[in-house]
Amino acid sequence: MADLWQSAMDHAVSVARKAGEVVREALQVDRKVMTKSSSVDLVTQTDQKVEKLIIQSVQEKFPSHRFIGEESVAAGERCVLTNEPTWIIDPIDGTTNFVHAFPFVAVSIGFCVNKQVEFGVVYSCLEDKMFTARRGKGSFCNGEPLQVSDQKDIKQAIIATEFGSSRDPEVVDHIFSSLRNIVSIPVHGVRGAGTAAINMCLVASGCVEAYYEIGIHVWDVAAGSLIVSEAGGVLMDVEGGQMDMMSRRIVAANSKIIAERIVKEISVFSPLRDDAPPDGHH
């Protein structure tokens, strides 16, 4: 099996690069925006086109594999992770950035078997940085090994987070309450690249000590989670304990100490899970 997954990973890298080219070209022409769950949850024709391109190309090579894709789910497909080999795809992570030409946009491809991420590929296509990780084999950026920061003092840390795509007043209150607590620790700074995948690559690269968010989806974090852990980082739920990829909540940090410190400051809420049944219960 090991060789099979290696060839799947090689394919993921090459299709992510192709997808990145399409995104870069489209940035010049296609910025026609549509909305999804809210007026700030954006999608473009390029998101849909790139997801199709990736799925078709993978299907030709691995016809029995399954897919969870952001735009396929938006179009009504169920988001269910089984034990079967499954490609989890975000064709454009950072769609809002794409629409505004803010220069952080990623193609994110995670690959799971038995619900465990076997490899992750995040292509930051405007920076031309290819982040990769294979389970047990480390994380890399353009072939160079990555290592999380060794800073264990939260007061010397930079923390990444996002405002997400909900403007529900209760959610906004939670976001600002967490932010206020974290800024007041005080930390050195708070940053956000506008894409969960790139925020996680920044943790893996040692540029920020942690990233947390509530409201992300499995396709935003599947690849990035392995890139963080293979670079020596840890993943945690926002209430502590094990991270659950379908729960839409994540803390990714350079260490358990930093992750646990962040958890203390997060104002917790639980969005509808990605794998919630269509009748919408938690």
State the residues that interact with ligand IPD by CB under 6 A. 70, 90, 93-95, 162, 164-165, 194-196, 213, 215-217, 220
**Of the listed 70, 71, 209, 213, which one is catalytic?**
70
* Known catalytic residue at 93: yes
CA distance 50 to 83: 26
Q: Which residues contact 281 (CB under 8 A, 6 or more apart)?
A: none
Is the CB of 46 or the CB of 139 nearer to ligand IPD?
46
What's the distance, CA 117 to chain centroid? 13
d(CA 129, CA 207): 15
**Buried b / exposed e along 157-181 (16+ C-beta atoms within 10 A):** bbbbbbbbbbeeeebeebbeebbee
92 is catalytic: yes
Please provide residue 187's backbone torsions phi and psi, each rounded to the nearest 5 degrees: -100, 165
Peptide bond just before 169 cis, omega within 30 deg: no
Query: To the nearest whole angstrom, how small is the minimum distance from the Cβ of residue 83 to ligand IPD?
Result: 26
Please report, to the nearest 10 degrees, the dihedral formed by the alpha carbons of residues 6, 47, 93, 222 taken in order: -40
The answer to whether 95 is a known catalytic residue is: yes
The residue annotated as part of the active site, out of 209, 220, 230, 265, is: 220
Active-site pick, 55, 68, 89, 92: 92
Element (H, E) at 31: none
Query: Minimum CB separation from ligand IPD for residue 66, in Å?
Result: 20
Is 77 in the active site? no
Q: Which is nearer to ligand IPD, 165 or 247 (CB)?
A: 165
Q: Exactly one of 51, 93, 209, 265 is catalytic; name it.
A: 93
Planar angle of CA 219, 147, 212, nearest 5 degrees: 40
Q: Which is nearer to ligand IPD, 113 or 269 (CB)?
A: 269
Active site residue 244: no
User: Rounded to the nearest whole angstrom, what is the least distance from the CB of residue 224 to ligand IPD in the complex?
Assistant: 9
Of 44, 46, 86, 95, the active-site residue reads 95
Report in angstroms how near the CB of residue 91 gets to ligand IPD at its nearest. 8
Say whether 30 is catalytic: no
- Cβ proximity to ligand IPD: between 85 and 194 the closer is 194
**Shortest Cβ distance from residue 99 to ligand IPD (Å)?**
9
Helix-helix angle 169-183:256-265, to 10 degrees: 130
Bridge pairing between strands 86-93 and 66-69: parallel
As annotated, the active-site residues are 70, 90, 92-93, 95, 220
